[in-house]
Structure 1
Amino acid sequence: MSSVAQKSSAAALFTMGSLEAVAIARAPLLELRRKIEEEVRTALPTDDSQKVVHSPLLAFVNMVVADGKELPATVDSVRRQVLSDVDLYLSNKRKQRMLLKLYNPLHGMSEQERIRATARTVGLDIPQKKTDLS
């Protein structure tokens, strides 16, 4: 009878140990998810009333993090690598936008805005067209 009790207690310890191992293994995944969410929040323009950002990328990241509680170590390392690649991509895109804005101020403007800004740099203003005939 003690062997049954020992087996059940060993199974309980194994279950507790595996749950702790899963929690420890998921911690870097959750940290990566938080970093990606922060990058997406800074990249997307939102108003004050919309606190939650809805993005297909965030849905994918949440699916990767929540997909399967206990997976083999190789699958877990692949998930971690995918999330770190997404994080690296988003941070590099943010840096690229910042550098483009800094060194190429005409980037992202419409053609009319670029013409007006270019004319202003040499001291000219584009004449205003009169629309009313009176």
Structure 2
Amino acid sequence: MLPDHPRLYRSLLRELTRAAPSKPNRTIVSNLRALLEQSRLQDARNALLFLKSQREHQTLVERYNPLSSLTEQERIRKTANRVGLDVPKASTT
């Protein structure tokens, strides 16, 4: 292994753990390790860049579109509240 491999591998693992709240998938980790063992450094760097970009994209979506993670009913209610309206309560008859 070249000296750059351990640092790149740790960076990939760090991004994988940031992307998923649980432990990284063993298949993905073994595929990344295989990339490094085959000296396919550019592919591994591209994977790292992709993971970082995905995380940044999710951060920006949450920042600029805070309603994206809500259910349909919550989104309707909050949108109505934004313009000063209330959503009527559904009658249970």
What TM bracket, shorter-length normalisation? 0.7 to 0.9
Q: What is the aligned partner in structure 2 of residue 37 from structure 1?
A: 13
**Could you list the runs of 4 or more consecutive aligned residues of structure 1 that deviate by over 6 angstroms after TM superposition?**
none
**CA–CA distance in 1 between the matches of 2:81 and 2:12?**
39
2: CA distance, partners of 1:56 / 1:115: 40
Query: TM-score w.r.t. structure 2 length?
Result: 0.77
How far is the alpha carbon of 1:130 from its aligned partner?
5.2
- Cα deviation for residue 55 of structure 1 reads 5.1
1:40 Cα deviation from its structure 2 partner: 1.3
For 2:67, the equivalent position in structure 1 comes to 106
| AA of the residue aligned to 1:128 | K
Matched, 1:58 2:58: no
Percent of residue pairs identical: 31
- In 2, Cα distance between the equivalents of 1:37 and 1:31? 10
Q: Which amino acid aligns with 1:112?
A: Q
* Runs of 5+ consecutive residues of structure 1 not aligned to the other structure: 1-21, 47-51, 68-75
Larger Rg, first or second structure (1 or 2): 1
Does 2:1 correspond to 1:28?
A: no
Aligned-partner Cα distance in 2 for 1:55–1:113: 36
- Offset at 1:90? 0.8
Whether contact under 8 Å (2:35, 2:41) holds in the other structure is no
Distance 1:55 1:95, change over 3 A: farther
- Unaligned runs of 5+ residues in structure 2 are none
